[in-house]
């Protein structure tokens, strides 16, 4: 039984990694399309990110002068952390074999590891752009950390564990908890964090190439060809994983959490489809929101993050004082 369950868990985890890997460029495509339509443009189509990746992968690999192994390894590390995170996070199943290996802290730390690799690569280029991007990214990362950990704290109190599978299962068993003040406050806080981590407006503008406003784009300025493809792909996967995390922590319905291996596998296609819809809806909402918002000044970002930190702290306080 447990043997067949773990086999089923492995299959499900592999399926969710494949879904994230294949679907994340489509998510980016959907978001761009939503944005384009709202701005009155026709848009390039949902498949355009995949076409871009294919084009980049066919190009020659470039090593800029003076860069070293860190520069070459960073896209690999970034992509690897995103893939591993996709295997851990409960996207289609709560029974991933990696679920016990990494809790929510470990997942956020893992994603931070990818960011750090990219920041080091940016510094390795010895250009002012790279340094600027790395410096800004690290500042945002440092300030985001308290909010992440505080929202994790708030979410883990009812479940009694920081393991993602346990949190999702506990929400599945007590659905009314989703509407509690704790959950709502934590959701808002985590949403801000996700926006900051994924580098979306109002923290960062993924479409900009203007020196004064770049954060993420400044870091990857020297990448070209297959390396750039990896970086773009990894960014899309991180966005998918983060949105999926929010979706399934606060609305886990549809996830496969059956007791037997056969039932779990049977529920898998539906779970994957539901997940795709949830993430597409969240992504579309995010893109629609971006149309109406301007990017914040770099030094107003701490205010936004402080605000989300207040929400997270209130969530923790409420989880104790209102319990």
* Residues in 109-138 that interact with another protein by CB under 8 A: 109-110, 112-113, 116, 119-120, 123-132, 134-136, 138
Q: Tell me the C-alpha distance between 99 and 85, whole Å.
A: 10
153 binds another protein (CB under 8 A): yes
Q: State which residue, 49 or 114, has the beta carbon closest to another protein.
A: 114
Q: Is the peptide bond before 202 cis (omega within 30 degrees of 0)?
A: yes
Output the six-digit token pair for 260: 């037997």
Q: Tell me the C-alpha distance between 78 and 214, whole Å.
A: 19
Output the six-digit token pair for 265: 């596998």
Q: State which residue, 19 or 116, has the beta carbon closest to another protein.
A: 116
193 binds another protein (CB under 8 A): no
55 burial (CB, 10 Å; 0-12 / 13-18 / 19+) is exposed
178 binds another protein (CB under 8 A): no
The torsion angles phi and psi of 61, rounded to 5 degrees, stand at -80, 135
Residues 271-300 that bind another protein (CB under 8 A): 298-299
Q: How many CB atoms lie within 10 A of CB 145?
A: 16
174 binds another protein (CB under 8 A): no
Q: State which residue, 207 or 321, has the beta carbon closest to another protein.
A: 321
Q: State which residue, 39 or 60, has the beta carbon closest to another protein.
A: 60
Q: Candidates 18, 266, 270, 317: give the one binding another protein (CB under 8 A).
A: 317
Q: Tell me the C-alpha distance between 21 and 16, whole Å.
A: 8
128 burial (CB, 10 Å; 0-12 / 13-18 / 19+) is exposed
226 binds another protein (CB under 8 A): yes
String of contacts with another protein for each residue 68-87, x by CB under 8 A:
xxx-xx--xx-xxx-xx--x
Q: How far apart, in Å, are the Cα atoms of 22 and each of 86, 129, 265, 266?
A: 12, 31, 20, 21
DSSP 42: -
Residues 4-23 that bind another protein (CB under 8 A): none
Q: Candidates 168, 192, 221, 249: give the one binding another protein (CB under 8 A).
A: 221
Residues in the chain, overall count:
323
* Among the listed residues 22, 20, 1, the one whose alpha carbon sits nearest the alpha carbon of residue 89: 20
39 binds another protein (CB under 8 A): no
Q: Contacts with another protein: how many residues (CB under 8 A)? A: 92
Q: Candidates 38, 184, 288, 296: give the one binding another protein (CB under 8 A).
A: 184
320 binds another protein (CB under 8 A): yes
222 binds another protein (CB under 8 A): yes
269 binds another protein (CB under 8 A): no
Q: How far apart, in Å, are the Cα atoms of 302 and each of 142, 145, 246, 306?
A: 10, 12, 22, 6
Q: State which residue, 274 or 305, has the beta carbon closest to another protein.
A: 305
Q: State which residue, 215 or 279, has the beta carbon closest to another protein.
A: 215
We find the least distance from the C-beta atom of residue 129 to another protein, in angstroms, to be 7
We find the least distance from the C-beta atom of residue 146 to another protein, in angstroms, to be 4
């Amino acid at each position: 039984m447990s043997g067949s369950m773990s086999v089923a868990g492995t299959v499900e985890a592999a399926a969710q990694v494949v879904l994230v890997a294949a679907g994340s460029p489509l998510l980016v495509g959907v978001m761009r399309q939503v944005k384009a339509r709202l701005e009155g443009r026709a848009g390039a189509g949902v498949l355009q990110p995949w076409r871009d990746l294919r084009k980049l992968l066919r190009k020659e690999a470039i090593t800029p002068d003076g860069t070293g192994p860190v520069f070459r390894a960073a896209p690999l590390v970034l992509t690897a952390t995103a893939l591993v995170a996709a295997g851990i996070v409960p996207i289609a199943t709560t029974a991933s074999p990696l679920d016990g290996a990494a809790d929510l802290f470990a997942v956020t730390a893992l994603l931070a590891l990818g960011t750090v690799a990219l920041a080091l690569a940016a510094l390795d280029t010895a250009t002012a752009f790279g340094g600027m991007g790395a410096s800004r990214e690290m500042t945002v990362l440092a300030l985001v950390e308290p909010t992440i950990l505080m929202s994790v704290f708030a979410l883990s109190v009812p479940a009694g564990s920081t393991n993602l599978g346990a949190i999702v299962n506990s929400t599945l068993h007590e659905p009314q908890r989703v509407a509690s003040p704790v959950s709502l406050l934590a959701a808002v806080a985590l949403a801000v964090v996700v926006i900051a981590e994924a580098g979306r407006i109002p923290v960062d503008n993924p479409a900009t190439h203007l020196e004064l406003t770049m954060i993420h784009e400044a870091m990857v300025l020297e990448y070209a060809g297959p390396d750039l493809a990896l970086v773009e792909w990894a960014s899309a996967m991180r966005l998918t994983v983060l949105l999926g995390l929010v979706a399934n922590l606060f609305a886990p319905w549809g996830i496969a959490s059956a007791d037997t291996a056969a039932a779990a596998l049977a529920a898998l296609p539906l779970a994957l489809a539901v997940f795709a819809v949830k993430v597409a809806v969240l992504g579309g909402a995010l893109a629609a929101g971006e149309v109406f918002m301007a990017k914040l000044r770099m030094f107003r970002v701490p205010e936004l993050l402080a605000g989300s930190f207040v929400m997270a702290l209130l969530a923790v306080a409420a989880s104790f004082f209102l319990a």
